[in-house]
Amino acid sequence: ATPTALLAATGRGAQLGILVSGPRALERLRRIDTIVLDKTGTLTTGAMSVTALTPRADGLAAAEVRRLAAAVEQGSEHPLARAVTAHARGLDDQPPPPVRDFGSTPGEGVRGTVDGHRVTVGRPPGDPAGLPAPLPEAVREAEAAGHSPVLVTVDGTPEAVLAVGDALRPDAYRAVDHLRRLGLRPVLATGDREATARAVAGHLAVTEIHARATPQDKAALVTALKEQGGRVAVVGDGVNDAAALACADLGIAMGSGTDAAIGAADVTLVREDLQAIADAVRLARRTLATIR
């Protein structure tokens, strides 16, 4: 393609809300045949809210768990963290106490010391049966609703399960269907649990699901798909997607995403519009097909 045509296509992309890093990205966009979609913050809005808080029997009071969890989540920019802190802000007069020794593991959760207690907030164990009553039921109920269960532990004891829900983006089904009609194979990859992932994939008629995927698992999935001969794009928003975005043939970041995701991607969706992905593929195919 001529430089002028590529420049024109890049400009047209910008009008569609797609920021392309350069002509090579446009060329790769044209060739992709597999698209790995992150769930939280990509297919869903990421605007989550806490829909339930279930404390264990004879444990800490709900208000205390809420306070400790919000204290730790202050340090995280994950959409789940924002839901937990907003929940506390809405119910408590006092702001949460400060957190010390904050740490976070992408795809797992966060931890820190609050008022001398070690607190973790994150993904419950794969089999919740070992949790104290009635937390196993709380985990299953959250999943059945398509929400994410989040476990709070204090000094090593599981104290509560929060159900955190967000909505599918309103255009998610049409956007995925559009990609399918362009011949792309959609794959859902999420750090979230199997049952929650299935609920979302079911709405989108996506049958290939990789749940409980750590950031390394997401990158390994991309590598495996490439080894099978796929030309693989990844769409993601989080720190946990950065490795997969970087090793994809083409990385696509949500404009609302973290700096890590945007930095690792070749294309950024400025307007948060998932339809723009299919528009971009069509644009790249047209531009680079006609000029050669």
Interface residues with ligand ADP (CB under 6 A) are: 38-41, 73, 76, 78, 80-81, 107-110, 121-123, 148, 150, 190-192, 238, 240
Nearest distance in Å: CB 65, ligand ADP = 13
Stretch that binds Mg ion, among 36-44, 111-119, 166-174, 212-220 (CB under 5 A): 36-44
DSSP state for residue 128 in the 8-state scheme: G
Quick one: 213 or 284, whose CB is closer to Mg ion?
213
Binding mask 80-99 for Mg ion (x = CB under 5 A): --------------------
Per-position DSSP letters for 206-233, written without gaps between them: --EEE-S--HHHHHHHHHHHHHTT--EE
Nearest residue to ligand ADP on Cβ basis:
191
- Asked if 266 touches Mg ion (CB under 5 A), the answer is no
Distance from C-alpha of 180 to C-alpha of 183, rounded to nearest angstrom: 5
Stretch that binds Mg ion, among 34-42, 92-100, 135-143, 225-233 (CB under 5 A): 34-42
Distance from C-alpha of 60 to C-alpha of 55, rounded to nearest angstrom: 7
What does the block give as tokens for 288?
């680079």
Give the count of residues interacting with Mg ion (CB under 5 A): 5
Residue 11's contacts (CB-CB under 8 Å, 6 or more residues apart) are: none
Question: Which residue of 10, 40, 76, 287 would you call a contact of Mg ion, by CB under 5 A?
Answer: 40
Residue 93's contacts (CB-CB under 8 Å, 6 or more residues apart) are: none
Q: Residue holding tokens 């769409």? A: 235
Residue 147 contacts residue 155 (beta carbons within 8 Å) = no
Quick one: 153 or 256, whose CB is closer to Mg ion?
256
- Asked if 38 touches Mg ion (CB under 5 A), the answer is yes
Distance from C-alpha of 224 to C-alpha of 243, rounded to nearest angstrom: 14
Residues in 210-239 at the binding interface with Mg ion, rule: CB under 5 A = 237-238
Quick one: 18 or 245, whose CB is closer to Mg ion?
245
Stretch that binds Mg ion, among 24-32, 38-46, 48-56, 244-252 (CB under 5 A): 38-46
Distance from C-alpha of 182 to C-alpha of 176, rounded to nearest angstrom: 10
Among all residues, which ones are annotated catalytic?
38
The sign of the CA dihedral 228, 6, 244, 174 is negative
- Asked if 104 touches Mg ion (CB under 5 A), the answer is no
Distance from C-alpha of 259 to C-alpha of 268, rounded to nearest angstrom: 11
- Asked if 107 touches Mg ion (CB under 5 A), the answer is no
- Asked if 55 touches Mg ion (CB under 5 A), the answer is no
- Asked if 166 touches Mg ion (CB under 5 A), the answer is no
Question: Which residue of 41, 106, 128, 158 would you call a contact of Mg ion, by CB under 5 A?
Answer: 41
Where along the sequence are the contacts to Mg ion (CB under 5 A)?
38, 40-41, 237-238
